[in-house]
């Protein structure tokens, strides 16, 4: 049995527990559930054990501040999720993250990514396989709220993408058009150089 907090109506408390269970089923760890749902630490830990039949794994939550910049795919997943979250609330404010808004945005992100993209091209370093992990998603919002990162509009493709304010502008490029364009240029140069080396080798063989 869970003790009903003072000045809290029973329906509201049951709704909070239900939301906490949904978050835990998606992989949220007790500290994230505690923060989003406003429940006590012991309650969050107990709920986690009841859902997964084992205690939460030990170790730090994914607090890598530079995770976004480590790959264009990381930046793409973060941009999709945070773009959807910003449609439900203003990230520039210091209002606490509400569990309902968070769950709505995260659910929409998973549905959209699952439908639009090919799973083979969705590799992202998270605890949710091919999806952005829910604990990572929560931390991304904390970064925006603390002004470590922000959403900007790409001047080329007009898509919203997340950038780190602590990094130089060179590392704040759009993960869709600018990064992939640069990769294509490098591939083109490599293929041209390879072709030129083959021609040079053939010419040397023909003259020998």
Q: What are the beta bridge partners of residue 160?
A: 153
Residue 191 lies in a domain: no
Looking at residue 137, what is its pLDDT?
A: 95
Asked if 20 contacts 33 with a C-beta cutoff of 8 angstroms, the reply is: yes
Residue 187 lies in a domain: no
Give the residue carrying structure tokens 């759009």. Answer: 174
Looking at residue 63, what is its pLDDT?
A: 77
Looking at residue 125, what is its pLDDT?
A: 47
Same domain for 176 and 115: yes
Same domain for 159 and 74: yes
Helices (H), the chain: 10-25, 30-37, 41-52, 72-86, 99-116, 134-145, 178-207
CA-CA distance, 179 to 171, in Å (whole number)? Answer: 10
Residue 157 lies in a domain: yes
Looking at residue 71, what is its pLDDT?
A: 87
Looking at residue 115, what is its pLDDT?
A: 79
Same domain for 80 and 18: no
Asked if 161 contacts 176 with a C-beta cutoff of 8 angstroms, the reply is: yes
Residue 124 lies in a domain: yes
Same domain for 81 and 129: yes
Same domain for 176 and 147: yes
Looking at residue 183, what is its pLDDT?
A: 52
Asked if 74 contacts 136 with a C-beta cutoff of 8 angstroms, the reply is: no
Q: What residues make up the domain containing 77?
A: 67-181
Same domain for 80 and 167: yes
Q: Which two tokens stand for residue 30?
A: 């007790």
The closest alpha carbon to 57, from 147, 123, 127, 2, belongs to 127
CA-CA distance, 166 to 148, in Å (whole number)? Answer: 7
Which parts of the chain register pLDDT below 50?
91-92, 94, 120, 125-128, 185-208
Looking at residue 5, what is its pLDDT?
A: 60
Number of domains in the chain: 2
- pTM of this structure: 0.74
Looking at residue 91, what is its pLDDT?
A: 47
């Amino acid at each position: 049995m869970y003790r009903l907090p003072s000045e809290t109506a029973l329906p509201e408390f049951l709704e909070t527990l239900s939301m906490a269970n949904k978050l835990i089923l998606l992989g949220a760890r007790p500290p994230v559930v505690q923060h989003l749902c406003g429940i006590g630490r012991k309650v969050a830990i107990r709920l986690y054990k009841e859902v997964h039949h084992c205690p939460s794994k030990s170790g730090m939550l994914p607090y890598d501040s530079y995770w976004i910049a480590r790959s264009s795919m990381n930046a793409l997943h973060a941009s999709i999720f945070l773009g959807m979250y910003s449609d439900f609330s203003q990230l520039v404010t210091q209002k606490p993250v509400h569990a309902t808004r968070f769950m709505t945005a995260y659910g929409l992100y998973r549905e959209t990514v699952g439908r639009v993209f090919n799973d083979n091209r969705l590799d992202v370093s998270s605890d949710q396989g091919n999806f952005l992990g829910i604990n990572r998603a929560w931390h991304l919002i904390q970064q925006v709220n603390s002004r470590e990162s922000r959403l900007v509009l790409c001047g080329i493709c007009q898509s919203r993408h997340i950038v780190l304010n602590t990094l130089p502008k060179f590392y704040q490029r759009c993960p869709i058009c600018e990064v992939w364009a640069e990769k294509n240029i490098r591939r083109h140069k490599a293929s041209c150089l390879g072709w030129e080396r083959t021609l040079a080798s053939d010419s040397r063989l023909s003259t020998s």
